[in-house]
A and B are shown apart, each in its own frame.
Chain A
Amino acid sequence: MSVPLSQMWTVARYVVTQKLRGTKRYPLVLMLEPLFRCNLACAGCGKIQYPGHILRKHLTVAQCLRAVDECGAPLVSIPGGEPLMYPEIGPLVRELVARKKYVYLCTNAILLKEKLEANLFTPSKYLTFSVHMDGLREEHDEAVCRDGVYDQAVEGIREALHRGFRVTTNTTLFDGADAPRVRQFFDAMMDLGVEGMMVSPGYSYSKAPDQEHFLRRRRAHDLFSAMLSNPKKRWRFNQSPLFLQFLMGKRDFECTPWGNPTYNVFGWQRPCYLLQEGYAETFQELIETTRWERYGRRSGNDKCRDCMVHCGYEATAVDHTFSSWRGMRDTVVATVSGKL
């Protein structure tokens, strides 16, 4: 695994503190969406399907920071929309780094080289560019519905690495993904020199237009087993090894929808990053008034039945690590041995 020690320590200290306090529901990663606007129109993305006046809206830096403070999570992921189109992205990242939040700026990297050349960002252990890469050139360009984007992303990654930034990749795998090709893709990303990779199956959420194309749970286990059963030593993943074992069907976890709370121009999204069942005005209201028992696989909710996405289950895996000596031991063994 490739997460730096300082980041591991920060997360460990935070989770242990929550457990000692007896906090039943605590956030791990704030999903901060300052805008929905994007320079791509991927067919699998329900985030951009809004009228123009909604797409033109964005949060202010003050609104973003208030959400960060309210939530208190040690990690802040900035997806969207395309966050590099957010006019205040430089000041926002500076403020978050000053607060010692570990920031994952999730980008398609089309604008990355341009923004780096404009010196919008400064390298820091707190800042990681998490570049959306859904596979090798053919698969990625097809997933984002535009030819040439893979090459642009690779160019952005090279520039960021050259300038000393932390760079990871974030890959969503759709139905029909080919395990040997994905393994080649892992090799290609390691050759590029990224710090680590994140993988997750896609999700069939009701507002996604191609739900029939997303992975179902069982097929997902088969795919991830074929991909990860014999991992190469050089592959590094920027996520919990227990989550990867869950994807392979080796562990049975339940969703932790409050683990990655989402804040955007509509407010605090209930119940999670993918489902939009309403909005709360404050983080406290979100935690206290959301009917959490209605969500997760065991709830019987059809919308949750096949979901294995990292925004719901990575927090479960991290919580499991710190819930027992066995969880800690399993995590350490997988991390040190590299075996999943």
Chain B
Amino acid sequence: MSGGDASLEGWQPRVGEDASLAEVVEQAFDYRGDVTVVRTDGSELVGYLFNRDRDVAEPFVQMFDHAGGGPHHIRYADIRTIRFTGKDTAAGNSYAAWLTRKAATKAADSGSRA
């Protein structure tokens, strides 16, 4: 997510109702935080989803788990849903926010000297 967009942090989509699986995967691929992939067998994997390919015979995603392991290769067909459980590291880090913080610091400094 870019700085100006609303973050998906905390989103728990219901695949087929809120969005298609392909759409959820695309959002997860674009997300700059960890996600939790829930498999069709009920097992879960928490980590960073860094790649996906749906232009192949068996579409898949790739992840590094939060313990540092991987890459894990998971077929779309084995995914029930993806939850956006990790902190969105892109949120709130805009250049505009930096300029605002800098201006506020300068104002505070000049205020304390006055």
Q: Point out residues on A near B: beta carbons under 8 Å.
A: 41, 43-44, 46, 49-51, 53-54, 56-57, 142, 145, 206-213, 266-267, 278-279
Contacts and interface: CB of A to CB of B under 8 A. Distances in A.
Contact of A278 (B4, B51, B98): B51
A3 to B, nearest CB: 32
Q: Which 10 A-B pairs have the closest CB atoms?
A: A209-B3, A210-B95, A43-B95, A209-B94, A43-B98, A49-B89, A49-B90, A279-B51, A49-B32, A266-B50
Contacts of A145: 98, 102
Contacts of A278: 29, 51-53
A279 B94 CA distance: 26
A128 to B, nearest CB: 29
11 contacts: A43-B95, A44-B95, A51-B34, A53-B67, A142-B102, A206-B30, A207-B2, A207-B32, A209-B4, A267-B51, A279-B51
A246 B55 CA distance: 35
Interface of B: 1-4, 29-30, 32-34, 47-48, 50-53, 62, 64-68, 86-87, 89-90, 93-99, 102
Given A142-B102, A266-B51, A50 B32 contact: yes
B51 A210 contact: no
B86 to A, nearest CB: 6
Given A41-B93, A208-B2, A209-B2, 5 more contacts: A49-B32, A145-B102, A207-B90, A266-B50, A266-B51
A266 B53 CA distance: 14
A213 B48 CA distance: 28
A279 B48 CA distance: 14
Contacts of B51: 266-267, 278-279
Contacts of A209: 2-4, 90, 93-95
B62 A279 contact: yes
Contacts of B102: 142, 145
Contacts of A44: 95
